[in-house]
């Protein structure tokens, strides 16, 4: 590996982290396949925007309930064994769904049940993923590990959906679930052979640990408002992705076009990740962060309008821009939080941050229900107007967030 890469991303110089990072491509890529496959299968079985919303709820609610416990587990027990269990359990569930789908026995409730079980397991898995870095690398390489793991999600979101759409078109959704199972099994094999530093013991009870993490968030203006903004954005704005099959149908582009739409969003996310490299040192970090949130909401509204008009190429371009802006917001806000959170609370606090990803799926129920009453475009418009209102509230009522100085923050944390 070249010195220039190691200088920019020193975490890759640690063999244990490098193995974990490469294995994560398999499991995160599998997660992207699952999202695409379940959404398309549900739409084929029901043709209903509301049922797609139920899928979002099934993929979100168990995770939200389990994440609070998962954060405590991540700070208390062996992270390697937790990830071995979660990877193997998800492998088994995906094989079950692939078998039901392949034999033609699959029903809507099967998909919802499997999505709910995977969501519950992810409530244990995700807090571990955002807190395991300190067990694999030195602190000097920590921020590069955060960026590299963000890149995994963005890169797989770029490449996997188009690949998955082609797989569905050539074979069926059963093949997507089988490939996803293989990805999680690969993660299990790597974690089973990986040496991970043991988790520090604590005399506090799990309940004390949980309340300690919640108190930290509630007593910190920075964490309280940035987490709230993340949650509102995911629920009301990013949730348009959950009903993307409806927009693909409006544009008459089928499963292949559906995959391309999701991949365009992935390309935008990767571009956003590259654009904000080293942005934690930017003096007007707060303005950039809130401005990118505003741009995201406006772009999502524009996407819904072009989809309603059946403009596929324009829709691809705009969803790329929306994802780019959303990526800028997510990476800048997460960098701020990762710099500020104490190591002892990292699993719990950053685990709560991962609830935002579940709220994106849960927001699909809100968008889907509105789409049944109105239409998909109007539902997305209303959701993003709510998001814009909350951003404006923070802009004027919490000027300390708007005035965040990346250089000052990094110096203060160090």
- The secondary structure of 118-155 as a DSSP string is HHHHHHHHHHHHTT-GGGTS-GGGHHHHHHHHHHHHHH
Question: Domain with 205 in it: what CATH number?
Answer: 1.20.1250.20
> How would residue 280 be classed by pLDDT, with cut points 50, 70 and 90?
very low
Residue span of the structural domain in which 267 resides: 14-413
Q: Which pLDDT belongs to residue 222? A: 80
Tell me the pTM: 0.71
Task: State residue 93's pLDDT score.
Answer: 95
**What average pLDDT does range 120-124 have in this prediction?**
88
In a domain, 146, yes or no: yes
Q: Is residue 6 part of a domain?
A: no
User: How many of the other CB atoms lie within 10 Å of CB of 413?
Assistant: 12
Q: Is the dihedral of CA 11, 16, 22, 27 positive or negative?
A: negative
Distances in Å between the Cα of 113 and the Cα atoms of 50, 199, 239 are: 16, 33, 20
User: Has residue 3 been placed in a domain?
Assistant: no
- Please report whether residue 180 resides in a domain: yes
Q: Inter-axis angle of helices 376-397 and 221-236, to 10 degrees?
A: 170
Report the C-alpha gap between 388 and 386 in whole angstroms: 5
Q: Which of 151-165, 238-252, 314-328 has the lowest mean pLDDT?
A: 151-165
Evaluate whether residue 9 is within a structural domain.
Answer: no
Residue 252 resides in a domain? yes
Least confident range from 13-22, 64-73, 299-308, 343-352: namely: 343-352
Distance CA 406, CA 404 (A): 6
Q: Is the pLDDT of residue 407 over 70?
A: no
Residue 320 lies in a domain: yes
User: Is 170 part of a structural domain of the chain?
Assistant: yes
Q: What is the rounded CA–CA span in Å between residue 383 and residue 336? A: 26
* Three-state SS letters, 6-31: HHHCHHHHCHHHHHHHHHHHHHHHHH
Residue 229, pLDDT score: 92
Mean residue pLDDT of the chain comes to 81
Q: Rounded CA gap, 333 and 324, in Å?
A: 14
Q: How far apart are CA 301 and CA 380, in angstroms?
A: 7
Q: What is the pLDDT of residue 2?
A: 61
Q: At what angle do helices 142-170 and 254-275 cross, to 10 degrees?
A: 170
Question: What's the CA gap between 356 and 262, in Å, rounded?
Answer: 19
pLDDT tens digit sequence for 345-375: 766 677 777 777 778 877 877 888 888 888 8
Band of residue 200 on the pLDDT scale cut at 50, 70, 90: low
What is the percent of the chain where pLDDT is above 70?
85
> What is the number of domains present in the chain?
1
126: Cα separation from own chain's centroid: 10
Query: Mean pLDDT lowest for which of 26-40, 99-113, 326-340?
Result: 326-340
The whole-number pLDDT of residue 3 equals 67
């Amino acid at each position: 590996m070249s010195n220039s890469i190691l200088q920019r991303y020193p975490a890759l110089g640690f063999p244990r982290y490098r193995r974990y990072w490469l294995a994560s491509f398999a499991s995160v890529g599998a997660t992207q396949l699952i999202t695409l496959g379940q959404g398309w299968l549900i739409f084929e079985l029901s043709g209903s925007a509301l049922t797609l919303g139920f899928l979002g709820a099934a993929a979100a609610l168990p995770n939200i309930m389990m994440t609070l416990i998962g954060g405590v587990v991540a700070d208390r027990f062996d992270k390697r064994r937790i990830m071995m269990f979660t990877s193997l359990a998800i492998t088994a569930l995906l094989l079950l769904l692939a078998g039901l789908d392949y034999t033609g026995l699959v029903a809507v409730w099967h998909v919802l049940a499997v999505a709910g079980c995977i969501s519950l397991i992810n409530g244990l898995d995700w807090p571990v993923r955002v807190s395991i870095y300190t067990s694999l690398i030195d602190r000097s390489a920590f921020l590069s590990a955060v960026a590299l793991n963000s890149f995994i999600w963005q890169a797989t979101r770029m490449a996997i959906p188009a690949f998955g759409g082609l797989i569905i078109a050539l074979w069926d959704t059963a093949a997507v679930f089988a490939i996803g199972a293989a990805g999680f099994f690969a993660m299990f094999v790597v974690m089973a052979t990986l040496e991970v530093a043991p988790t520090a013991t604590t005399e506090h009870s799990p309940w004390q640990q949980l309340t300690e993490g919640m108190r930290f968030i509630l007593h910190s203006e920075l964490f309280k408002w940035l987490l709230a903004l993340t949650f509102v954005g995911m629920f009301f704005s990013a949730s348009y992705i959950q009903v993307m099959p409806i927009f693909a149908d409006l544009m008459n582009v089928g499963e292949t076009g559906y995959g391309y739409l999701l991949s365009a969003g992935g390309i935008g996310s990767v571009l956003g990740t590259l654009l904000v490299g080293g942005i934690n040192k930017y003096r007007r970090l707060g303005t950039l962060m809130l401005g990118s949130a505003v741009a995201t909401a406006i772009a999502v509204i524009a996407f819904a309008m072009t989809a309603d008009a059946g403009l596929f190429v324009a829709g691809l371009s705009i969803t790329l821009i929306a994802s780019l802006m959303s990526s800028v917001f997510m990476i800048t806000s997460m960098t701020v939080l990762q710099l500020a959170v104490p190591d002892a609370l990292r699993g719990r606090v950053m685990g709560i941050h991962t609830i935002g990803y579940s709220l994106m799926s849960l927001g699909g129920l809100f968008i889907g229900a509105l789409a049944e009453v109105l239409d998909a475009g109007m539902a997305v418009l209303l959701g993003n107007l709510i998001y814009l209102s909350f951003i404006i509230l923070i802009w004027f009522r919490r000027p300390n967030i708007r005035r965040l100085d990346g250089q000052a923050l990094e110096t203060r944390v160090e």
